[in-house]
Chain A
Amino acid sequence: MQRIGVFVCWCGSNIAATVDVERVAQVMKNEPGVVFSTDYQYMCSEAGQAIIRNAIAEHKLTGIVVCSCSPRMHEATFRKTAQRAGLNPYMVEIANIREQCSWIHKDKEEGTEKAIVLARAALAKVMLNAPLIAGQSSVTKRALVIGGGIAGIQSALDIADAGYEVDIVEKEPTIGGKMSKLDKTFPTLDCSACILTPKMVDAAQNEKITLYTYSEVEEVKGFVGNFNVKIRRKARYVKEDVCTGCGACMQKCPSKKGLNEFNLGLNKRTAIYIPFAQAIPNVAVIDATQCIKIKNNKCGLCDTVCAAKAIDYNQQDEFIEREYGAIVMATGFNPIKLDKFNEYSYAECPDVITSLELERIMNAAGPTGGKLVKMSNGEHPHDITFIQCVGSRDISGRGKCYCSKICCMYTAKHAMLIRDKYPDVNVHVFYIDVRTPGKNFDEFYRRAVEEYSVDYIKGQVGKVYPEGDHLVVQGVDMLANEQIIHKTDMVVLATAIEPDPTARKIASMLTASIDTNDFITEAHPKLRPVESPTAGIFLSGVCQGPKDIPETVAQAGAAAVKVLGLLSKDKLVTNPCVSQSNELLCNGCSMCQNVCPYGAIGYEDKLINDHGIRETRRVAVVNEALCQGCGACTVTCPSGAMDLKGFTNKQIMAEVDAICK
């Protein structure tokens, strides 16, 4: 006979304001099976936990129900409490009377009644709980970082610094990501390359770090501590370990029509190329769509000039498979495509550019050698107009519903840099709101206005169109309540950012949750911001949500710490809530095996004693190390032999009954 204790938490006024906690405790006291019931202000506090521990000892409780916040919040806490008092941790059930009751209802009577029903359902379940013993699994002491931008580099460096092996997979031919394309960084205006390239070199030289550039994650199997990852190393047509990065091939290559990705297509590059001077690894790559040798089997000049004999036109994609204990997602972002925003004439007018393109134009290593010129004719502009929120905060279906966060600051940066370097250029900024939360951020924006006389106009732009050799901006000044028809030379669009398209693909391989905007969901928005709800997956940088460089670096470090916490363990406790086959009922039909996503079910011929009849039968056997406890097999099983520990058929039925009573 079970002896159950019920503990009702007030959560200060969070629960107590809309649920009569004392009444819940009173009602539960009279439920069959309950031998102790109480309420307390903060059950998760040390004092609250002491109440639980004492009650377990004093009343010889065999199970407990805690009526409190979501089990996603404190189930682990109360399981530990029970364990400390000598109770099996799986004899704990949580009735969620905060998130799913007190916070959504206003009427106290209604809230109290619902809380009682939820408590009864939890009680019905715990009455059928059985003690479970968690297994153990090993931990591969190696981490994988997906994405080699500043987020990935920082996470990898921090993990390697602590002495663990870490691999970076980067889909581009070089690491460095978006930050390597930036000219200066806000709010200090230090040069982006000057602070990033040393980190890139560190990553390359660190003996604990292996770089897989021009590579993509192809397949992920396994689970926390034991991921098995297949990586595709795309053919570079250049032997990475032989190439010296001398660049002779680039000088001779006659195919010069490829768009220079590093400069966002603002200029051309050769078919064989090194993305930029500080690329890591400093190794050439051949664009097979442009290479004359690969396309037509003519040319072959690069092979002739390569002293190191690094060219290999027949190189094929290679696959490697590795084991990892933890995976960091650092897949980053891209500016959105502007094909739905033709009112800005971005596609037709070369002088309408995105902010990221302006970074390249301002950069000394960029397509114009750092000279600010109109891309249409190479002339010096006299008037530049910035338009903020292009595609951000847009729920019309054309853009993104969220604020891209970084645009206000980089626009202020651009405006300031231009006014500083070219005082003859007038700069106007159309804004909806200027959002500058961050250390020294608002001061920075005010400097743009007060020191550099940047003209900030509250309002949006309806249309941009060419007229003669300049552009016309038709906008509104909402403070003056005037429509503005403004002639300008260049228009810069602060384009919304979105997660890299690979994020969704990789997230589904990792079974990490992803939100409707394709940002990876964190385990808890405040308390577990760098972890995915899927164990062993950690989040770094913009893949989790828009953020600037300092925030990205901070999050990358935090993700690394979480990885280290995992890798430093020798054994991981596994989830004991796994499937179990009743050999007496199993008829060996294999249906469960077919639906199992983890290949956790096998078959054995076993000698079965079925009510005195002894015979050898083919029965299902669950590999508890592989089973993740989804329960697909339990529903598929035609004979009802499969059940899921911790969520058994009887337990769930008992909950249903309690709710419908």
Chain B
Amino acid sequence: MVMTFSYYPGCTLKTKAKELDKYARASAEALGIELKELEAWQCCGACYPQSKDEIATRLSSVRALNDAAREGGVLVTLCSACHHVITRVNRDMALKPEIADKANRYLEIDYHGTTEVLHYLTMLRDRVGFDVIKSKVVNPLKGRKIGAYYGCMLLRPSKEMGFDDPENPTIMEDFIRAIGATPVVYQMRNECCGGYVAMKDKAQAKKNVSRVLDNAKNCGAEELITACPLCLYNLNENGDKAMPVTYFTELLAEALGVKEA
């Protein structure tokens, strides 16, 4: 049976992070999932506006959520930043009437946070199941020592994101195991790489990146995977480039044998 979900790719997946998107679609197809890209989605803004009086910066997420609500009520995201912003705006719409009222009035809609926002990884875990993925792997990535880089945006604040344990997450490690590789657990996998200052303050970004990469290397990781285009850019651009960093969907496609399709 084919599962169908609405899909929000986000700005970067159409340009610099095409691989993240391409392999996600190919893998989904191989796993019997139809990802229906929302029509006319707009950029989520890439940072969640934390101040309660910021309404305009929430609107594009609300639009996407509202559209998804009308099309089955489940919205799959892929980019960490999109997932972070859309999940939290969704909660605002459900729980903070002072924000929801203004946003609804502005957009002339009536949306109250009913859409379920799934990250591609949680979709794999909760809707497909890692054991099913394991059974569909044709090209297990045996012997590859892979460190998962979660970064900050998927995990925190855990009360809102509800993604995984914020200090000791396991979802990506379980994913790595499912595609036949060996996960390398290192403690800096949930520490920030400094993506937001990657443009304005290279020195700080470099410091953060080396902290993550050094720790991963010391723990025996030979490559890293991530779900975030900004992390990927920052780890590559401001790191020593010795550690390959790829999108997790690329490895998934490789394991499922659909990478070249």
Q: Which A residues lie at the B interface, using CB under 8 A?
A: 341-343, 345, 347-348, 397, 463, 465-468
| Alpha-carbon distance A397/B215, docked complex (angstroms) | 30
B39 interface residue (CB < 8 Å to A):
no
Interface size class of B (residues with CB under 8 A): 10 to 19
Contacts of A345 in B (CB 8 A): 168, 187
Contacts of B218 in A (CB 8 A): 467-468
Q: What 10 pairs across the A-B complex have the smallest Cβ distances?
A: A465-B187, A342-B167, A342-B168, A343-B167, A342-B165, A467-B218, A347-B168, A466-B187, A348-B168, A345-B187
Contact B159 A397 (CB under 8 A): yes
Tell me the smallest distance from the CB of A491 to a CB of chain B, in Å: 13
Residue of B nearest to A341 (CB): B167
Chain B, 175-210, contact with A by CB distance < 8 Å: what is the 0/1 string? 000000000010110010000000000000000000
Q: Which B residues lie at the A interface, using CB under 8 A?
A: 159, 165-168, 185, 187-188, 191, 215, 218
Residue of B nearest to A467 (CB): B218
- Overall SS of chain B's interface: loop
Contacts of A467 in B (CB 8 A): 187, 215, 218
Contacts of B215 in A (CB 8 A): 465, 467
Residue of A nearest to B166 (CB): A342
| Alpha-carbon distance A162/B123, docked complex (angstroms) | 68
Contacts of B187 in A (CB 8 A): 345, 463, 465-467
| Alpha-carbon distance A397/B188, docked complex (angstroms) | 24
Tell me the smallest distance from the CB of B214 to a CB of chain A, in Å: 10
Q: In the complex, given contacts A347-B168, A465-B187, what are 20 additional A-B residue pairs having Cβ atoms less than 8 angstroms apart?
A: A341-B167, A342-B165, A342-B166, A342-B167, A342-B168, A343-B167, A345-B168, A345-B187, A348-B168, A348-B185, A397-B159, A463-B187, A463-B191, A465-B188, A465-B215, A466-B187, A467-B187, A467-B215, A467-B218, A468-B218
| Alpha-carbon distance A177/B215, docked complex (angstroms) | 43
| Alpha-carbon distance A343/B159, docked complex (angstroms) | 15
| Alpha-carbon distance A345/B166, docked complex (angstroms) | 12
Tell me the smallest distance from the CB of A3 to a CB of chain B, in Å: 58
Tell me the smallest distance from the CB of B17 to a CB of chain A, in Å: 29
Contacts of B185 in A (CB 8 A): 348
Contacts of B165 in A (CB 8 A): 342
Contacts of A465 in B (CB 8 A): 187-188, 215
Contacts of A343 in B (CB 8 A): 167
| Alpha-carbon distance A341/B166, docked complex (angstroms) | 10
| Alpha-carbon distance A341/B168, docked complex (angstroms) | 9
| Alpha-carbon distance A345/B191, docked complex (angstroms) | 14
| Alpha-carbon distance A341/B165, docked complex (angstroms) | 10
A-B CB contact pairs (8 Å), 22 listed: A341-B167, A342-B165, A342-B166, A342-B167, A342-B168, A343-B167, A345-B168, A345-B187, A347-B168, A348-B168, A348-B185, A397-B159, A463-B187, A463-B191, A465-B187, A465-B188, A465-B215, A466-B187, A467-B187, A467-B215, A467-B218, A468-B218
| Alpha-carbon distance A330/B117, docked complex (angstroms) | 48
Residue of B nearest to A343 (CB): B167
Tell me the smallest distance from the CB of A344 to a CB of chain B, in Å: 8
